Structure 1
Amino acid sequence: MPRRPRFQLLAVLLVTAIQLPVVLWLCWHTRTPLPVLGAVLVSVPYLRQLQSPWHSTSPARSTYLALGWWSACLVFDLLMVPAELAVRVGAPWGLAWGLAGVLSLGLGADAVLGRPRLRKRVVRVDGLPAELDGYRIGQISDVHCGPYVSEERVSSWVSRLNALEVDLVAVTGDLITHGSSHVEPVARALGGLRAKDGAFACMGNHDYFTDGEHLVRALERQGLTVLRNRGVVVERGGARLYVAGVDDTWTSRHDLARALAGRPPGAPTVLLAHDPELFPQAQARSVELTLSGHTHGGQLAVPGVRRLSLARFITRWTAGLYRHGRSWLYVNRGVGTTGPPARLGAPAELAVITLRRA
């Protein structure tokens, strides 16, 4: 069987399994086959245009409608047993099932239409100079500018970060989905970032799904500093902060030792590393804070339980803040998506990390 038809067949089987409990439940309670027709009308336009797990030529409206509906069905599948148990112990039927339906539709809509959350975290650094106490770093990651993320959408995220008036902005990789068509648009949008000490970027694996050198040149023309196995010293009132970045791990371009070679003695270090798997190496070299992305928080996860997500298949550092000894890691869930533009239980985010003296 050719590759694409095989993939499409698997996709049909998967979404049928997700929708089947909900559709059967609706058919039973409405005493009509209309829910089956509705599910087919929502699903078929997207499935017919599905090229691969990462790409569909379906119009945006059909894409978001299908993915939102499937997300709602998945949530309802998980809530059917609790709702039935609630009815059996005396809860009103309408209340239990109505609540399950409202939650499912709300989470399904949020999965495809939700705007990035703003995450604020405090990192306490041993030996942080007083002049850097309260230093604020804005982070945007995994933009994935492409078919589902336009230049205008990236610019809206940039405007939100700019409004926070942070001291420094870190852009931690995967700025495009693939190909060269979105290199200049994402560079223009990210070129609008404003911070007291500037905007710094590192490269991710998707950034080499095109000519990486072209992307670097485009970003630097727009005023970003791209850190590829190097670092710079940022000064504030006589105190020094070393900001370093490593290149992509998937193509073995990373060189952490080289990135840290220019670190002044005693200067606290912020490392931009798209792949959080570099955190143990950063910790071994006494890097105070590593900022990463890459995982998207799994895109599909149990809300509030970061260990239960698809990201666990690729790393133990799935999302959020981690600490080992005096070293910290923050894994940003990112603002874009890989593949289908849906996030269930792993909402998109922008982050602000505030440095404080330990």
Structure 2
Amino acid sequence: MLSRASLRGRFHLIAAALTTLVQLPAVLWLCWLTRTPLPALVAVLVSPPYLRQLQSPWQTTAASPTTYLALGWWSACLVFDLLLVPTGLAVQAGAPFGAAWGLAGVLALGVGADAVLGRPRLRRRVVRVEGLPPELDGYRIGQLSDVHCGPHVPEERVASWVARLNALELDLVTVTGDLITHGSSHVEAVARALGGLRARDGAFACMGNHDYFTDGEHLVRQLRCNGLTVLRNEGTVIERNGARLYVAGVDDTWTSRDDLERALAARPEGAPTVLLAHDPDLFPKACSRAVELTLSGHTHGGQLAVPGVPRLSLARFITVWTAGLYRRGRSWLYVNRGAGTTGPPARLGAPPELAVITLRRALGVTGRHRQP
């Protein structure tokens, strides 16, 4: 059996090989275009300092300018690699040589910078619910997911996301799991930040798999002490002018703590249901129980995806429900790409997000639907 030192050495070797492969086409082409070794020099200066920080595929030391510079550069190189063929074809078709390659370079640098510095997008979606009471028509639900408070996501950043949602004056706000990265160092910090969430009918949370990479019970206590309602295989009824909405939450699936039957046990007959379930793979079970809306996270939209093609992402390796809005019959699923990151603090083609879901009365449309 390999020792920890041997495993780390093998990981560093693989990481160095992958980053070299990502950079090589762009660097060689840029060296030829510029007739200088400057691109190669940048690659040599940027990559080794960050690679030395890596401890595992999903763990590095605290973020630093070196981290963001390296990840932004690699992201830009990858985008430039993808643009090599179409840009070359455009030049052959008559596009000005300098303008075409200049545009490719600017686009690659812009996407690379956004991959490490981009703030969460605000996604607004409408879900049409069969049998929704008129009193709940237009009901707005905010969703924050996959916060991953830790070395790369400090308390101040989480608090800024909270402030953005609060400014929308929502009816309900939800947090769908993975509040920390791992360990106990940021439990109090994330609880304080999320405790600032405000909505007319309250703030509700469910647990994710990373939330048990520490003492999960301690995390729950801290969240509740700061004012969040943590739903662990349970639900609560919200009333609006006599109309009822059932808000339920299931516990983590990875540690087999989830129990959908218990979560729905107190659901009033006929009341539309919003289910908080970190893992989107629970959606088929939710459909079988006629849950109108399931809010999930977990996937990060892959965190690495082909820009503009959300279906082509690393999330495909873990689930078919990768990101966005899905429908089966009367049941809807929204998979939030999340606001934080795990592992390298970069997102390429899968930008971070905050979501607002507006409930509307159904117009008699049936079938299946997907909206990114």
User: What is the TM-score with the length of structure 2 in the denominator?
Assistant: 0.95
Whole-Å Cα distance in 1 between the matches of residues 88 and 306 of structure 2?
21
Which of residues 152, 169, 173 is equivalent to 2:177? 173
- Contact in 2 for aligned 1:117/1:347 (Cα 8 Å): yes
- Contact in 2 for aligned 1:46/1:58 (Cα 8 Å): no
Where does 1:1-358 land on structure 2 (aligned, <5 Å)?
2-57=6-61, 59-358=63-362
By how many angstroms is 1:59 displaced? 4.7
Whole-Å Cα distance in 2 between the matches of residues 63 and 289 of structure 1?
38
Root-mean-square deviation (CA, aligned residues, Å) is: 0.9
**Secondary structure at the residue paired with 2:55?**
strand
User: What is the TM-score with the length of structure 1 in the denominator?
Assistant: 0.99
Relative to structure 1, the CA distance from residue 306 to residue 158 in structure 2 (aligned partners, 3 Å threshold; closer, same or farther) is same
Relative to structure 1, the CA distance from residue 175 to residue 59 in structure 2 (aligned partners, 3 Å threshold; closer, same or farther) is closer
By how many angstroms is 1:56 displaced? 1.6
**Secondary structure at the residue paired with 1:171?**
strand
Whole-Å Cα distance in 2 between the matches of residues 197 and 125 of structure 1?
19
Whole-Å Cα distance in 1 between the matches of residues 61 and 271 of structure 2?
50
Count matched residues: 358
Shift >6 Å, 4+ stretches: none
Whole-Å Cα distance in 2 between the matches of residues 302 and 16 of structure 1?
19
**Secondary structure at the residue paired with 1:52?**
coil
Q: Deviations over 1:23-81 (max 9, x none)?
A: 11122123332322211111111001111111222651000000000000000000011
Deviates more, 1:116-125 or 1:304-313: 304-313
Q: Which runs of 5+ in 1 are unaligned?
A: none
Whole-Å Cα distance in 1 between the matches of residues 342 and 314 of structure 2?
12
Whole-Å Cα distance in 2 between the matches of residues 142 and 279 of structure 1?
18
Whole-Å Cα distance in 1 between the matches of residues 329 and 240 of structure 2?
26
Whole-Å Cα distance in 1 between the matches of residues 355 and 178 of structure 2?
16
Q: Which runs of 5+ in 2 are unaligned?
A: 363-372
Whole-Å Cα distance in 2 between the matches of residues 200 and 293 of structure 1?
15
- Contact in 2 for aligned 1:322/1:328 (Cα 8 Å): yes
Whole-Å Cα distance in 1 between the matches of residues 62 and 129 of structure 2?
48
Relative to structure 1, the CA distance from residue 59 to residue 226 in structure 2 (aligned partners, 3 Å threshold; closer, same or farther) is closer
Q: Could you tell me which amino acid in structure 1 is paired with residue 11 of structure 2?
A: F
Q: Deviations over 1:94-137 (max 9, x none)?
A: 11101110110000000000000000000000000011000000
**Secondary structure at the residue paired with 1:76?**
helix
Whole-Å Cα distance in 2 between the matches of residues 59 and 258 of structure 1?
41
Q: Percent identity?
A: 82
